[in-house]
């Protein structure tokens, strides 16, 4: 397609060469198509071949607590965490899910299913990932209820706190904020990878969620994984997935194993291919540099600042460069989403994240052709 061809040459052109055909740029979602280019260049070594007779059974490993986890995928998950150093893997159970979205629901079920008669409160500090609220509410569950902002939660009762670090939408590193013991925590580490943020230590929490969607960009594979300390919790999460979908696509797990293996190999067998995280880091770094430049020039918006930290993976100091830009319209503009829509740029309003409509969230992970056009439009904006 023409956009793929444009994506392939995008780096070589100046953004101002891009003709504005007046098309709508949709940065409302976080579709990670920025990574297509790396995987196109990686070529055939990432292909998998699956015969008609393969991956037919429901079962992957009946001896494993998570009986639908493909052993090869589990092995590559541990290998990658050990190479990147972003999460402790010793003495944990791996639960695979259809995206981390399913695992999030499995975790809610696992933490609330043994509770009392009242639904347990689910909190996350604002601005929170907008999908959490919808997912918690859509089934009208009797097990849990959405309460919202964790920073104002002071009820003396059990609760589940969602911690997203780096956070979607604003990119800040986060810790639990409810100042009480007895809370149950779910750590969403979708973005705790070195192309986005310095890896300062191996995360070591009870329930940690990851996803290939944001690690390698394979959102369409629908594969996520949870690292779970407690055996009973891991068992209940597995039970949820059994009831919900009787396991997780084996074809996808086999493909995910291959992709993770390629990422690890790109680090360990340097020379064969470009380090995936280094390459992706530089791609996103260029985008943030362009964004900060036009934002500084026009004065219409502001963006968050991030403190530098030493990354153990990259062996250097840098600041978080999030997968989303959390833009604030300065001055007169009250509705930032409407303002950008008038320039044919679709964004997600701050109000979905429990914040003011002066904010919008913008995907930084779209294809070059769209990102370049976005920068061009920003640079020409006047209020």
Which residues in this chain contact ligand PMP in the complex, by CB under 6 A? 30, 99-101, 129, 164, 168, 188, 190, 211, 213, 219, 224
- Report in angstroms how near the CB of residue 315 gets to ligand PMP at its nearest: 27
Give the residue with the Cβ less far from ligand PMP, 190 or 199.
Answer: 190
DSSP character at residue 269: T
Give the residue with the Cβ less far from ligand PMP, 221 or 294.
Answer: 221
Q: Is 325 helix (H, G, I), strand (E, B) or coil?
A: strand
- 281-301: burial string, b at 16+ Cβ within 10 Å, e else: bebbeebbebbeebbeeeebb
- Report in angstroms how near the CB of residue 14 gets to ligand PMP at its nearest: 31
| Torsion angle, alpha carbons of 2, 337, 363, 311, to 10 | 150
Pick from 32, 41, 23: which is nearest to 366 by CA?
A: 32
The answer to whether the beta carbons of residues 79 and 71 sit under 8 Å apart is no
The answer to whether the beta carbons of residues 231 and 92 sit under 8 Å apart is no
- Report in angstroms how near the CB of residue 350 gets to ligand PMP at its nearest: 16
Give the residue with the Cβ less far from ligand PMP, 220 or 296.
Answer: 220
- Report in angstroms how near the CB of residue 190 gets to ligand PMP at its nearest: 4
- Report in angstroms how near the CB of residue 268 gets to ligand PMP at its nearest: 25
Give the residue with the Cβ less far from ligand PMP, 213 or 321.
Answer: 213
- In this structure, the strands spanning 159-164 and 120-123 are parallel
Give the residue with the Cβ less far from ligand PMP, 103 or 373.
Answer: 103
- Report in angstroms how near the CB of residue 187 gets to ligand PMP at its nearest: 11
- In this structure, the strands spanning 223-228 and 93-98 are antiparallel
- Report in angstroms how near the CB of residue 132 gets to ligand PMP at its nearest: 8
- In this structure, the strands spanning 223-228 and 207-211 are antiparallel
Give the residue with the Cβ less far from ligand PMP, 153 or 225.
Answer: 225
Q: Report how far residue 100's alpha carbon sits from residue 355's, in angstroms, rounded to the nearest whole number.
A: 24
Pick from 377, 382, 291: which is nearest to 16 by CA?
A: 377
The answer to whether the beta carbons of residues 291 and 305 sit under 8 Å apart is no
The answer to whether the beta carbons of residues 33 and 253 sit under 8 Å apart is no
Give the residue with the Cβ less far from ligand PMP, 218 or 376.
Answer: 218
Give the residue with the Cβ less far from ligand PMP, 323 or 329.
Answer: 323
Whose tokens are 């639990």? That residue is 176
Give the residue with the Cβ less far from ligand PMP, 135 or 254.
Answer: 135
- Report in angstroms how near the CB of residue 159 gets to ligand PMP at its nearest: 19
- Using Cβ positions, the residue closest to ligand PMP within the complex turns out to be 99
List the alpha helices (DSSP H) in the chain. Answer: 2-9, 36-42, 71-84, 99-112, 130-137, 212-215, 231-245, 250-268, 276-298, 336-341, 368-379
Pick from 201, 204, 104, 117: which is nearest to 162 by CA?
A: 104
- Report in angstroms how near the CB of residue 326 gets to ligand PMP at its nearest: 13
- Report in angstroms how near the CB of residue 252 gets to ligand PMP at its nearest: 11
Give the residue with the Cβ less far from ligand PMP, 213 or 320.
Answer: 213
């Amino acid at each position: 397609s023409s956009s793929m061809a444009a994506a392939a040459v995008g780096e070589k052109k100046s953004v101002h060469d891009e003709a504005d055909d007046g098309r709508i740029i949709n940065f409302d979602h976080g579709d990670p198509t920025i990574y297509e280019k790396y995987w196109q260049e990686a070529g055939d070594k990432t292909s998998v071949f699956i015969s008609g007779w393969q991956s037919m059974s429901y079962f992957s490993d009946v001896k494993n607590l998570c009986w639908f986890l493909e052993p090869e995928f589990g092995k590559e998950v541990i290998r990658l965490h050990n190479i990147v150093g972003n999460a402790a893997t010793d003495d944990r159970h791996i639960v695979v899910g259809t995206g981390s979205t399913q695992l999030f629901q499995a975790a809610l079920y696992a933490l609330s299913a043994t509770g009392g008669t009242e639904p347990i409160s689910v909190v996350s500090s604002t601005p929170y990932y907008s999908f959490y609220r919808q997912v918690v509410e859509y089934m009208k569950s009797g097990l849990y209820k959405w309460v919202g902002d964790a920073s104002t939660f002071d009820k003396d009762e059990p609760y589940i706190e969602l911690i997203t670090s780096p956070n979607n939408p604003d990119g800040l590193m986060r810790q639990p904020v409810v100042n009480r013991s007895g809370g149950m925590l779910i750590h969403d580490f979708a973005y705790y990878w070195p192309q986005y943020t310095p890896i300062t230590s191996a995360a070591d929490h009870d329930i940690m969620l990851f996803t290939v969607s944001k690690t390698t960009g394979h959102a369409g594979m629908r594969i996520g994984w949870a690292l779970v300390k407690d055996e009973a919790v891991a068992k209940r999460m597995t039970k949820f997935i059994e009831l919900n979908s009787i396991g997780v696509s084996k074809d996808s797990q086999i493909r995910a194993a291959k992709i993770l293996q390629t990422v690890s190999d790109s680090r360990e067998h340097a020379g064969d291919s470009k380090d995936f995280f280094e390459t992706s880091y530089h791609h996103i770094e260029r985008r943030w540099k362009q964004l900060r430049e036009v934002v500084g020039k026009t004065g219409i918006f502001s963006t968050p600042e991030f403190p530098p930290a030493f990354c153990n993976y990259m062996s250097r100091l840098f600041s978080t460069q999030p997968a989303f830009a959390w833009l604030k319209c300065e001055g007169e503009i009250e509705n930032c989403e409407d303002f950008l829509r008038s320039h044919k740029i679709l964004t997600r309003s701050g109000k979905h994240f429990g914040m003011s409509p002066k904010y919008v969230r913008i995907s930084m992970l779209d294809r070059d052709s769209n990102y370049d056009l976005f920068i061009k439009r920003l640079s020409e904006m006047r209020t």
